[in-house]
A and B are shown apart, each in its own frame.
Chain A
Amino acid sequence: MIELLWSIFDVSLVLLVLALAWASCSTQDMMRAVTLFIALGLILAIIWARLKAPDLALAEAVIGAGISGALLLSAIKDYPSTTTVLSRQSSLVEWVINGMTLGLVIIMTWAVWHGLNMSDGLRLSEQVMSQVPVSGVSNPVTAVLLNFRAYDTLLELAVVLTAVLTVLNLNHKRADVAAASPLLRGMTRWLVPLLVVTAGYLLWVGAHAPGGAFQAGAMLASAMILLQLSNPSSLQGFNLTVLRILLVIGIFIFVLVGIWMMSVNDDFLAFNPAWAGSLILIIEFAATLSIATALTLAYLGGRPTGWEFTNPVHSTKQHNGEPS
């Protein structure tokens, strides 16, 4: 009986996610499309939880649904609203695209079917599980992210930094929206401290339970975005030098720890099992700050006023391609 109920739950989740994706991709109204996309992200978060990936469920709810949704929503008004249907390809092209997509889907289905049936159960998970005790943390996902595949995570931080630098170089900060309703401002007073505390909790708990630097950083960024939405002037007094330091501190500390470990263990980012726990926590703390700053700046859509070091007389017009 329980099995049957679970199956019904699984099938309805799958149908819901496919329907939301289809609706979100086929509507002409962008506002509707983005709202459906956010709903899709939330359903995906439930699916991650169902598939025993709670770390991902947290990340998806905060990043996939929350921050991506906020980014896309705020972008809607940057783009002219073309209500006329000029965005369709000719019918021949449409047929070719449909055919190609269908072919690819069939090939992938075959590949997955084969992969699942032929699998002899040989996975990396056994190796990971046998090494988790010496990784310094007991959450296997954090162990993979910050110990076994630390290179990946370092480069991921570099990718985030590169993306944000591009955003900062291309545009000025988006014009502020009018101050929000008293209701939202009042709620923000309660929510922001709660979000900050939750971020700290996620960062700390990531060592032995679902959570970690990415979820914590995104949570912190969403607190900042909420502040910006409810009271546009609240982020203006931020010291820009501090902002610069916050943006790069994650990579800086990561590389510093890596080089230090190289001098001790002859290998870049090879942690001593005795110190690994503390080192990972230090790296995660710095990474959280950097990710939060990066995502907030990415949401603001460009450099805040006064970001350039140039002469204030010239900086009223934009300088393109100038590194900031």
Chain B
Amino acid sequence: MISQQLLYALAGIGLFGIGLRATLLHQMLLERLLALNVCGAGVFLIFIAVAYGGIETAVDPVPHALVLTGIVVAVSATAMALALGRRLQELDDE
């Protein structure tokens, strides 16, 4: 059981690392936002991997609820950041 949890948790850490690196490296807003979303997906994956206890045991529903909240907040934050970026673009063009 540990091995499966560990495998997915490591994948989550990998996603987090890839996303974080790209967020810091890129300078275009859109690329950064996308990378930040990948980074967030990594955090969700770590959470859910830790909540998973194997085929027989029941999963822990609390991290599931937290991640569900996280997914919705992430998409709202992305929409807001895109709107801010678009406004900046308009101001630059004027």
A, B co-complexed: yes
Knowing A18-B11, A25-B19, the reply to whether A160 touches B28 (Cβ < 8 A) is no
- CB of A301 within 8 A of CB of B50, answer no
- CB of A47 within 8 A of CB of B8, answer yes
- CB of A14 within 8 A of CB of B28, answer no
Knowing A129-B58, A166-B84, the reply to whether A10 touches B21 (Cβ < 8 A) is no
Total residues of chain A contacting the partner, CB 8 A? 88
**A89 cross-chain contacts in B, Cβ below 8 A:** 25, 27
Knowing A52-B59, A112-B6, A167-B83, the reply to whether A79 touches B19 (Cβ < 8 A) is no
**A163 cross-chain contacts in B, Cβ below 8 A:** 76-77, 79-80
- CB of A55 within 8 A of CB of B68, answer yes
- CB of B75 within 8 A of CB of A63, answer yes
- CB of A301 within 8 A of CB of B21, answer no
The residue in chain A whose Cβ has the minimal distance to the Cβ of B90 is: A171
- CB of B76 within 8 A of CB of A298, answer yes
- CB of B65 within 8 A of CB of A149, answer yes
- CB of B25 within 8 A of CB of A88, answer yes
Knowing A101-B21, A105-B13, A141-B68, the reply to whether A299 touches B79 (Cβ < 8 A) is yes
Report the Cα distance A89→B77, complex, angstroms.
25
- CB of B65 within 8 A of CB of A22, answer no
For chain B, give the interface size range. 35 or more
Report the Cα distance A91→B79, complex, angstroms.
32
The residue in chain B whose Cβ has the minimal distance to the Cβ of A88 is: B25
**B59 cross-chain contacts in A, Cβ below 8 A:** 51-53, 125
* B residues 5-28 touching A (CB-CB < 8 Å): 5-11, 13-22, 24-28
Knowing A153-B69, A159-B73, the reply to whether A37 touches B49 (Cβ < 8 A) is no
Report the Cα distance A97→B22, complex, angstroms.
9
- CB of A25 within 8 A of CB of B18, answer yes
One of A68-76, A182-190, A265-273 at the interface: A68-76
Query: Is A204 at the interface (CB under 8 A from chain B)?
Result: no
**B18 cross-chain contacts in A, Cβ below 8 A:** 18, 21-22, 25
The residue in chain A whose Cβ has the minimal distance to the Cβ of B40 is: A64
- CB of A30 within 8 A of CB of B21, answer no
Query: Is A291 at the interface (CB under 8 A from chain B)?
Result: yes
* A residues 72-103 touching B (CB-CB < 8 Å): 72, 75-76, 78-80, 82, 86-89, 94, 97-98, 101-102
Contact of A17 among B11, B17, B80, B90 (CB under 8 A): B11
* A residues 48-65 touching B (CB-CB < 8 Å): 48, 51-53, 55-56, 59-60, 63-64
B32 to chain A, nearest CB (A): 9
B47 to chain A, nearest CB (A): 10
The residue in chain B whose Cβ has the minimal distance to the Cβ of A298 is: B79
Contact mask A89-124 → B, CB, 8 Å, 1/0?
100001001100110110011001101110000011
Sample of 8 A–B contacts (CB below 8 Å):
A11-B7, A18-B14, A51-B52, A72-B78, A108-B46, A112-B13, A145-B65, A160-B72
Which A residues form the contact surface with B (CB < 8 A)?
A: 10-11, 14, 17-18, 21-22, 24-26, 30, 33-34, 37, 40-41, 44, 47-48, 51-53, 55-56, 59-60, 63-64, 67-68, 71-72, 75-76, 78-80, 82, 86-89, 94, 97-98, 101-102, 104-105, 108-109, 112-113, 115-117, 123-125, 128-129, 140-141, 143-145, 149, 152-153, 156, 159-160, 163-164, 166-167, 170-171, 212, 214, 218, 291, 294-295, 298-299, 301-302
